[in-house]
Amino acid sequence: MMSTPPARVRAHDLVFEEMLTEAQIRARVEAMGRQIAADYGGKRPVVLSVLNGSFIFTADLMRACPIECEVSFVKVASYAGQSSTGKVRQLLGLDESLRGRHVIIAEDIVDSGFTMQWLLREVRRMEPASLALAVLLLKPEALQVEVSIDYLGFEIPNAFVIGYGLDYDGLGRNLPAIYRKCDG
Ligand code: IMP
């Protein structure tokens, strides 16, 4: 049987090929939501969504989590173009209301790990009752600091990816699947 080549898309000057299909992502995110529901029943957790990239992951994760839960947003940035700058800049503040709450950070992707290292430290200062991290994508080869992930979607190769909320200079967030940059 002939296998069909992965679908390709263009964003700005780059071409990307499909790496994770919509169905694969849906199945994994639904399993993560069920796991969180099993772990947090009765605790009314706050899902802290890291904007911009995590807005689609957060929406799907929460709809797959059939318990009482709330959502809050923080906007951080450390990326310029295709590479992490290492410096994390907070753009939209954290809320004191996280104090005493069960907080689950929802992040689209961990690359160098600097963003999550910084955000975990900031959220801990708010003295939550507990703190966990749900991450859709992890690039193990790119990690530069240790980040402890409680709920992980997929480990992926060290490639630049777009889709399902992730962008390349603003484009690609609305793609329903995840695409990796083609070499060359
Ligand atoms: P880190 O601080 O290097 O772990 O980078 C984390 C942030 O960089 C994520 O929240 C994303 O916004 C962005 N990022 C990392 N890798 C990619 C990628 O492959 N495509 C798009 N954005 C990425």
If you measure from the C-alpha of residue 41 to the centroid of ligand 1, how many angstroms do you get, rounded to a whole number?
31
pLDDT of res. 81: 66
Note whether 134 and 61 are within 8 A (CB). yes
In this structure, the residue with its CA closest to atom 16 of ligand 1 is 111
d(CA 133, CA 125): 16
pLDDT for 32 beyond 90: yes
Least confident piece of the model among 81-95, 122-136, 166-180:
81-95
Distance CA 119, CA 125 (A): 10
Share of the chain above pLDDT 90, in %: 84
Report pLDDT for 183: 86
Q: Looking at residue 171, what DSSP letter applies?
A: B
Query: Which of 145, 158, 155 has the alpha carbon at shortest distance from 117?
Result: 145
Mean pLDDT of 131-135: 98
Q: pTM, whole model, 2 decimals?
A: 0.94
Confidence check: pLDDT of 162 > 90: yes
Ligand 1 touching residue 79 (CB < 6 A): yes
- Cβ(117) – ligand 1 distance below 6 Å: no
**Residue range 122-131: average pLDDT?**
95
Q: Is 115 in the pocket of ligand 1 (CB under 6 A)?
A: yes
Q: Confidence class of residue 16 from pLDDT cuts 50, 70 and 90?
A: very high
Query: Where along the chain do its domains lie?
Result: 22-76+89-159
pLDDT for residue 180:
98
Alpha carbon nearest to ligand 1 atom 9, residue: 109
Q: Is the pLDDT of residue 82 over 70?
A: no
- d(Cα 183, Cα 159) in Å, to the nearest integer? 9
113 close to ligand 1 (CB < 6 Angstrom) = yes
CATH 3.40.50.2020 given to domain 22-76+89-159: yes
Question: Which amino acid residue places its CA nearest to atom 11 of ligand 1?
Answer: 109
Distance of CA 61 to the CA centre of its chain: 10
Q: Is pLDDT above 70 for 135? A: yes
Question: Which pLDDT belongs to residue 1?
Answer: 61
Cα 6 to its chain centre, rounded Å, is 23
